[in-house]
Structure 1
Amino acid sequence: MLAATLFRQIIREGRLTLIDAQGQRFTFGQGDPAVTVRVTDRKTEFKIGAHPKLYLGEAYMDGRLVIEEGTLYDFLYICGRNVLRLENHPLWGVFERAGALLRPLLYYNPVGRARKNVAHHYDLSGELYDLFLDDDWQYSCAYFYDPQGETIEQAQQNKKRHIAAKLLLDRPGLEVLDIGSGWGGLGMYLAQEAGANVTGVTLSEEQIKKSRRRAKDAGLDEQVQFQLQDYRNLTGRYDRIVSVGMFEHVGTRHYHEFFQKIHDLLADDGVALLHSIGRMSPPGSTNAWLRKYIFPGGYTPALSETLGVIERRNLWVTDVEILRLHYAETIRRWYDRFQANRDRVRELYDERFCRMWEFYLIGCELSFREMGQMVFQMQLTRQQDAVPLTRDYITDWERAQMDGRQSAAAE
Structure 2
Amino acid sequence: MKFIVQALVSRLVETGNLKITYPDGTCQAFGDGTGSPVHLRINTKRALRGLALDPAYFLGHHYGTGDIDIVEGDMYGFLKAVFTGNPDFKYYDTGWNRLLDRLRYLFRWVREKNSVVRARRNVQHHYDLTGALYDLFLDQDRQYSCAYFERPNQSLDDAQLAKKRHIAAKLNIHRPGQSVLDIGSGWGGMALYLARQLGAKVTGVTLSDEQHALSVRRANEVGLSEAVTFLLQDYRNTEGPFDRIVSVGMFEHVGRPNYLTFFKKSASLLKRDGVMLLHTIGRTDRPSANNPFIEKYIFPGGYIPALSEVMQAVEKSGLAVTDVEILRLHYAETLRHWRERFMARREEAKALYDEKFCRIWEFYLAASESAFRWQNLVVFQIQLSHDQQSVPLTRDYIGRGEDCLLSHEGNPKAEPRGARRYPREASL
| TM-score strictly above 0.5 | yes
Amino acid at match of 1:282: R
Residue 11, structure 1, aligned to residue 28, structure 2: no
Structure 1 residues 44-123: aligned runs within 5 Å: 44-81=47-84, 82=86, 84-123=89-128
Identity of aligned residues (%): 49
Instruction: Say which of 27, 30, 34 aligns to 2:29.
Output: 27
User: Partner of 1:399 in structure 2?
Assistant: 403
User: Partner of 2:238 in structure 1?
Assistant: 234
**Residues in 1 aligned to 2:350 and 2:23: alpha-carbon distance in whole angstroms:** 28
Instruction: Say which of 114, 135, 144 aligns to 2:140.
Output: 135
Residue 38, structure 1, aligned to residue 41, structure 2: yes
**Residues in 2 aligned to 1:8 and 1:117: alpha-carbon distance in whole angstroms:** 38
1:408 Cα offset (Å): 6.9
1:3 Cα offset (Å): 2.3
**Residues in 2 aligned to 1:332 and 1:59: alpha-carbon distance in whole angstroms:** 23
**Residues in 1 aligned to 2:163 and 2:95: alpha-carbon distance in whole angstroms:** 43
1:8 Cα offset (Å): 2.6
User: Partner of 1:301 in structure 2?
Assistant: 305
Q: What TM-score does the superposition give when structure 1 sets the normalisation length?
A: 0.96
How many residue pairs match? The answer is 408
1:343 Cα offset (Å): 1.2
Residue 322, structure 1, aligned to residue 326, structure 2: yes
Instruction: Say which of 292, 303, 317 aligns to 1:288.
Output: 292
Structure 1 residues 158-307: aligned runs within 5 Å: 158-307=162-311
1:328-360 per-position Cα deviation (integer Å, ceiling 9, x unaligned): 111111112112211111100011111111111
**Residues in 2 aligned to 1:211 and 1:404: alpha-carbon distance in whole angstroms:** 23
- Stretches of structure 1 that go unaligned for 5 or more consecutive residues are none
Q: Secondary structure, in 3 states, of the residue corresponding to 2:35? A: strand
**Residues in 2 aligned to 1:403 and 1:247: alpha-carbon distance in whole angstroms:** 31
**Residues in 2 aligned to 1:86 and 1:59: alpha-carbon distance in whole angstroms:** 18
Structure 1 residues 364-403: aligned runs within 5 Å: 364-403=368-407
**Residues in 2 aligned to 1:102 and 1:390: alpha-carbon distance in whole angstroms:** 42
- Which sits farther off after the overlay, 168-177 or 76-85? 76-85
Q: What TM-score does the superposition give when structure 2 sets the normalisation length?
A: 0.92
1:201 Cα offset (Å): 0.2
**Residues in 2 aligned to 1:306 and 1:160: alpha-carbon distance in whole angstroms:** 23
8 Å contact kept, 1:274–1:379: yes
1:312 Cα offset (Å): 1.5
Q: Which runs of 4+ in 1 moved over 3 A?
A: 404-409
- Stretches of structure 2 that go unaligned for 5 or more consecutive residues are 414-428
1:95 Cα offset (Å): 0.9
**Residues in 2 aligned to 1:212 and 1:62: alpha-carbon distance in whole angstroms:** 38
The root-mean-square deviation of aligned C-alpha atoms, in Å, is 1.5
Structure 1 residues 139-150: aligned runs within 5 Å: 139-148=144-153, 150=154
Residue 363, structure 1, aligned to residue 367, structure 2: yes
User: Partner of 2:416 in structure 1?
Assistant: none
**Residues in 2 aligned to 1:408 and 1:260: alpha-carbon distance in whole angstroms:** 38
**Residues in 1 aligned to 2:410 and 2:237: alpha-carbon distance in whole angstroms:** 42
Q: Secondary structure, in 3 states, of the residue corresponding to 2:303? A: coil
Amino acid at match of 2:18: L
1:407 Cα offset (Å): 6.4
**Residues in 1 aligned to 2:411 and 2:205: alpha-carbon distance in whole angstroms:** 34
In structure 2, do the counterparts of structure 1 residues 88 and 328 end up closer, same or farther at CA, with 3 Å as the change threshold? closer
**Residues in 2 aligned to 1:204 and 1:288: alpha-carbon distance in whole angstroms:** 23
1:26 Cα offset (Å): 2.1
